[in-house]
Structure 1
């Protein structure tokens, strides 16, 4: 009888092993599946008079090939790789908004500035005037188009953030259900391998969306935390994440942890990894920086050109009007938590000092703090208005109380709303309100290269005469207040002269070329009305803006370089990070798969091994049964 038991037990055990092998082969391409193995052990022994005889084999359990450390490592590195890949994909989309070459923003900017060149030699040419207006309109249109594409990219990115958040919540619910099923099997002596695989696969998918931390729970369940310490899944209970638009900045999204009806914001840095972290970083950092860089180009260019254009005169002898539609003041957005009713705004005071950043004005007991949000730099002032970074921050309506905060975005809509204000060629202020007359007795080689107004000074058109001395310096008579003091005390007091270097006095700038002789003089005064049509002084002033240090010391004509440089640096850094983290994640996943993955060659060998064992067991059962039958026949006689 014992032989029959041994044979039957061996037959069943080897059949079970074949079933496990078949299960492995069937799931070779199943994501997250871990190879399973039967654990065999001796069935024990029995004592007889002839000694101890074994009872055969029995199957202890079915275990899965699994290494917790390698699985966790693959999950964490995969989370970082997913974050880097998601950010890189969005940055590459952003890069397409700013093409180079003929369609680039830089070409449009320089074409507009260079178009004034023809007017310096032909100030009354209507065609040249129309070209200036057309080039400006093309530049404004290109800025508006770029801003529109940024808006579209922002909207699609916000939708992606919400979609990823929904996926996280769905996976958290699924994980909670699997946890419950695992706990329900806790009373058995065996491990539900396929449930554990399903659990680990859900964890892998979840970590691809957001970086997680896991802590073992009851009876094989797992607890999941996000944002450092927020419990997304506790046993069979799942919380949620919610993507919400920042009430003080609708271009930004904040991720909130929601549990029991209570919502707590998560810092962007706390997300750490996963697609959500990469996309949120792109939206709140990379895209915001590009928007501000583009807006700074629009705001600085419009402000500088409006200022210079207003210093000239049009063909009708009228002072120049705004060249571009003046950018509106940036209204401060009050925090929902404000206790007062105050309102604030900011306007451009110095276009050359602008920094591409948003700002927050905080009301304090003793004054105000103006925080540059791009780097956290804080300027404390006792009262408003106050000038910071080329902007004048001012109170529009009283009523703010200590603790109130206001978000001010001076560059957010500058590019989107830029338009040319000039619609007729005669409105271009090409002429200068001042002109220079060299003395007829001049004997040196000095010639006038340009003369134009640079400041709306009360003494702009006052008669001024500059006379050169034997040492090459010059003296000036008729100057108003506010001019720089002479370089040399004299007598007579004089200014040093360098050919090609502008002489800036009384609100005008004059550039002379050549070498003076003693007694050479030049008279500067108001332009007569009959000279306006032939004057190109302000055209030279507009042309001189090309070399004006505007963007962190970079000339206006190269203003787009800072945008391209910043974007290129971000893309390059993101590409390196994505390549590196992908390599690390691939290596970690390969190490995990080497332990847990199904190898068809290995399974084929094991299939043959247990097939032979099964056949041998069947043969042994046949022999045992034949022997038993013979015994019965003999005893029966």
Structure 2
């Protein structure tokens, strides 16, 4: 009788628990991250009868979480990539329409400038054509100003997104850490896994992967350690949480946020170790599209400015005066790292004495006197090194200028002071050493042979005016972005446009003019210089190949930039579709294994309910049998 009661009561308890577990599954069918649970019903110990063994009923040994760690890991990784490319595509498409527009964009405005040059060459005495030439350049200036405003807003958006994303990451890290503690404590008490808490932790880990790629490592005590996606930096481990922060880079004037982590008291940049999630999207977009397109467009604008200016210097205006700068020449300086010893201590060299401009000279060790205008109508003795005003060298300097334009590279420069006190030059984004045409790393020496001046990729770096610097100090130069941001039409008076060319010099008998005589302007109405300015549109000026020959026109350089932007957007779109498909597949696989199937749960409820009712019938039978025995005794 006792056996019958024991079997019936144990069965009733077992199936009651099974109904509870099934009901909990149904209740959480819409709960994000919930893994279906199953009551594991096993037989109780048997006991011996006279001739056999009798069963002891059943019990729920455990409530199992239907879960596969490898599927969850793939789900988290695919979610991180999905959110990265979703966000990256959104950002890229915003900027694509700004810098690579085919309708009323930079290309159209540059074309109009060269068209106005040609129209003025056709009508060199026309005041209307002269005014149009100036107006078209000012229109480009206005367009670039508006574009820079949008790009600056985008940079601010990037900084804000990084800051907000870091806040989200830190919240998730704290949540995972707290759940780790709870899970470890409860697992230690009864040896059973707290399934619901583990689901919550898995969901928190997945939410964390929305913002950055991560790597998880389960521990023996039930906790999960979390690190950056490459495993380099621990975020959760040894019962501690290492939170992130977002702030200005060491070049604070650059207004560029980086991601930091405090490691052993040192604030370390870890931006390069984040590749997934929304944070990875923002960082990749900034480095490989936003900044890159600004550098590439800056090369085009620097090329336009330098080529037009140096061709304009060749001519004379209506009043016989030599051509001045048509556009404001490149004239920028460096930004010092906030880590520099002198700056941190209240400062010596802040970078303003590191000058970068476009000054093509044959010998970089000899400074060129004068900058605006580069040519004077006053003769200079041949022995003096100054701007060329004598016949012959003037064209030579133009040729040199056009050659140097072809050496422009779309990059930012980081200058590092070495132990000798000289400046080594690196690509700021990649960290690679900048090399000269012979493949030798560039170095600006304060003494011989450079004497503080070095031509680097078409640009003149002048560090002669620096204050004391220390080994290890760093400076940042962004010449092409600076030109893009500060493009300006310097020539405002249409009458100052140097349309006239150079008067031919006859060296035959009766005209003893030496090759070093000052050049003279062409006759009034001459259009030679203006025609040469118009012809710049069709000259290959940018991106010299290994033979030193430029491979792109100015408009071709713009098209290259636009193509690169389009390729970035296109590749991002491809990745976005692919990663969304992968994520959807992983969701389906997880749902197939761990998700709640209402039809299946309904069937289980019916089965367990019937079993529970049958268990109750066992108890009722036991009671009836017992009553029969009592009645028989009585």
- For the superposition of Structure 1 and Structure 2, which TM-score range results when normalised by the shorter chain? 0.7 to 0.9
* Whole-Å separation in 2 of the counterparts to 1:19 and 1:465: 113
Aligned residue in 2 for 1:295:
298
Query: Shift in Å at residue 428 of structure 1?
Result: 2.1
TM-score computed with the length of structure 1 as normaliser: 0.82
Partner residue, 1:490? none
| CA distance in 2 between partners of 1:74 and 1:542 (Å) | 60
Superposition pairs of residues 223-622 of structure 1, within 5 angstroms: 223-226=225-228, 228-234=231-237, 236-248=239-251, 250-258=254-262, 261-266=265-270, 268=272, 270-334=273-337, 336-338=339-341, 341-342=348-349, 343-349=353-359, 350-366=404-420, 367-373=422-428, 376=432, 377=434, 378-382=441-445, 383=450, 384-395=452-463, 396-434=465-503, 462-464=505-507, 480=515, 526-527=520-521, 531-532=523-524, 534-552=525-543, 553-622=551-620
Verify the 8 A CA contact 2:89 2:573 in the aligned structure 1.
Answer: yes
Q: Deviations over 1:12-71 (max 9, x none)?
A: 211211111111111112111100000001122233446432221111111100111221
> Displaced runs of 4+ in structure 1, greater than 6 A?
476-479
Cα distance 1:327–1:623, how it changes in 2: closer, same or farther (>3 A)? same
1:478, distance to aligned residue in structure 2 (A): 6.4
Partners of 2:631 and 2:476 in 1: CA distance: 102
How many pairs were matched up?
A: 556
SS of aligned partner of 2:259: strand
In structure 1, list runs of 5 or more residues that go unmatched.
437-461, 467-475, 482-505, 508-524
Partner of 1:131: 132
Q: Which runs of 5+ in 2 are unaligned?
A: 360-403, 435-440, 544-550
The structure with more radius of gyration: 1
**TM-fit CA distance, 1:624:** 2.5
Give the equivalent residue in structure 2 for 1:511.
none
TM-score, length of structure 2 as denominator length = 0.82
Which shows bigger deviation, 387-396 or 51-60? 51-60
Equivalent-residue separation in structure 2 for 1:52 and 1:364 (angstroms): 87
Distance 2:246 2:429 in 1: 22
Task: Please tell me whether the aligned partners of residues 295 and 415 of structure 1 are also in contact (alpha carbons under 8 angstroms).
Answer: yes
Q: Measure how far apart 1:574 and its partner are.
A: 2.2
Match of 1:140 in 2: 141
**CA distance in structure 2 between the partners assigned to 1:262 and 1:132 by the alignment:** 56
Distance 1:163 1:527, change over 3 A: closer
Q: Partners in 1 of 2:52 and 2:429 — Cα distance?
A: 86
Identify the residue that residue 175 of structure 2 maps to in structure 1: 174
Q: Say which structure is richer in strand.
A: 1
Query: Structure 1 residues 36-45 or 349-358, which shifts more?
Result: 349-358
Q: Any idea what SS the aligned residue of 2:171 has?
A: helix
**Cα distance, 1:338 vs structure 2:** 4.3
Alpha-carbon offset, residue 3 of structure 1: 1.7
Q: 1:401 to 1:220 in 2, by over 3 A?
A: closer
For the 8 Å contact 2:332–2:482, the answer to whether it is kept is no
Q: Is contact 2:334-2:475 (8 Å) kept?
A: no
